[in-house]
Amino acid sequence: MSSSMAPRSVPERDVHAQTQDRELGHGEKAVASVELGTLGMELAGYWVKLPLIRKLMFSHPEVEWIWWMDSDAMFTDMVFEIPLGKYDKHNLVIHGYPDLLLDQKSWIALNTRSFLFRNCQWSLDLLDAWAPMGLKELIREEAGRF
């Protein structure tokens, strides 16, 4: 990431999101967040991605899939193509540990650093259910309790 793209700190209470669009080819577009406030919610740390994804979903209804990657993630296979046809019947594609999630009911079994999100009502409903878990006043362990 160049120094001009480095994240800048913003006051937590600022309701502000600034993005930069980039064409990737194959009709794909990348949106890099360079400043991000909480967009009206007092979300903790990495939870601020949720209102940004919601904003992207509404501002780009023509996009079927949104691929979220945290700013410190990187590509190691530059020719990789997402097999979107494999996910026709899915709205969320995320790395996780099924035994931890399903057997032990552990919410930390999912890795939200990189995931595919279909731009649909189901995904918006998931964002609405997910966001309160990141409120600053909630204790992390209590937020994900089943």
Does the pLDDT value for residue 81 go beyond 80? yes
**79-108: average pLDDT:** 87
Residue 120 has pLDDT above 80, yes or no: yes
Regarding pTM above 0.85, the answer is no
Mean pLDDT of the chain: 71
Q: What is the pLDDT of residues 46-75, one digit of tens each?
A: 677 888 888 889 999 999 999 988 888 888
Sequence length of the chain is 146
Other CB atoms within a 10 A radius of the CB of residue 28 amount to 13
Q: What is the dihedral of CA 100, 77, 46, 7, to 10 degrees?
A: 170
Helix 49-59 and helix 121-130: axis angle, to 10°? Answer: 160
**Higher-scoring residue by pLDDT: 129, 116:** 116
Q: Where are the domains of the chain?
A: 3-136
The span from the CA of 60 to the CA of 70, in Å, is 20
